[in-house]
Amino acid sequence: MASILLAEDDESMRKFLKKALERAGHVVVDAGQGDEALTELQLREFDLLLTDIVMPVMDGIELARRAAEIDPDMKIMFITGFAAVALNPANRAPHDAKVLSKPFHLRDLVQEVERLVAA
């Protein structure tokens, strides 16, 4: 069981992902914007940050950079339809962050989360 911070601005997607991860036994705190997720990171520890890239106020890459500063041991995974953006070195995303491209099956998400947390 992992403690996961989920940052996703699409409310229906966020609820869907949260429910799937909770069914898999994880504890999930969700946020609709990057700045809200950053506040959560400052309040408690998480095993994994699961974040969309394109969000209002603060995008997922900036959130991931700040998260890595707060807790260098926390795992980071981007869920995005813009994988090339996450993988572009110019964006300075944390180098060990994983990317899961949308669309994906919930089973694949849960498997990737469990692999990443176990590593």
pLDDT score for 67? 95
Mean pLDDT of all residues in the chain? Answer: 89
Residue-wise over 65-93: b if at least 16 C-beta within 10 A, else e? ebbbeeeeebbbbbbbebeebbeeeeeeb
3-state secondary structure of 76: strand
More confident residue, 40 or 81: 40
CB 96 within 8 A of CB 6: no
Cis peptide before 103 (omega within 30 of 0): yes
Q: What is the pLDDT of residues 29-74, one digit of tens each?
A: 999 999 999 999 999 999 999 999 888 889 999 999 999 999 999 9
Domains of the chain: 3-109 (3.40.50.2300)
